[in-house]
Amino acid sequence: MKESASTVWDLIPQITEQLFEGEEEDMWNKEESTLTNLPTLRCRACNQAVCTWTHARRHIEEMMKGGEKQAELIRTLEQATDGSPGYEGMLVEARLRYRDVFWPHHGTARNFVTKRKER
């Protein structure tokens, strides 16, 4: 695969490393012989805390999928309403949800892919 052909999905591990801060710690407390489940990785976009890089990647994947679905909903609403009165509220609500929930992840990922393609 060419470097320029990379998509967001190809770069999820790198995007996750960019969006999360912290260090994954050993989940086994050797002194007490117990399993600890303290979240030590935090998402810079939404402050979601997780314990492992696997959970961090899953979080980013879920946000990317959700963002794509929300963007598709917005496009569908725009086409369906096409200036019809009474639907502006739904369209505004869908756009606000995308902006508040998904854009911090989606935007960062898109910027990362764009910068990578420019190299």
Which pLDDT tens digit goes with each residue over 30-86? 677 666 677 889 999 999 999 889 999 999 999 999 999 999 999 998 888 876 777
55: number of CA atoms within 13 Å, CB side?
14
Q: What is the pTM of this model?
A: 0.80
Look at residue 35 in the predicted model and tell me its pLDDT.
65
Tokens 């994947």 belong to residue = 61
Which pLDDT tens digit goes with each residue over 3-31? 456 788 889 999 999 999 988 776 666 67
β pairing state of 49-50 and 34-35: unpaired
Indicate whether 97 belongs to any domain.
Answer: yes
| Domain assignment of residue 11, given as a range | 3-108
1: number of CA atoms within 13 Å, CB side?
8
Indicate whether 49 belongs to any domain.
Answer: yes
Q: How many residues does the chain have?
A: 119
Domain count, the chain: 1
Indicate whether 37 belongs to any domain.
Answer: yes
Indicate whether 118 belongs to any domain.
Answer: no
State how far the Cα of 43 lies from the Cα of 16, in Å rounded to an integer: 8
Indicate whether 114 belongs to any domain.
Answer: no
Look at residue 82 in the predicted model and tell me its pLDDT.
77
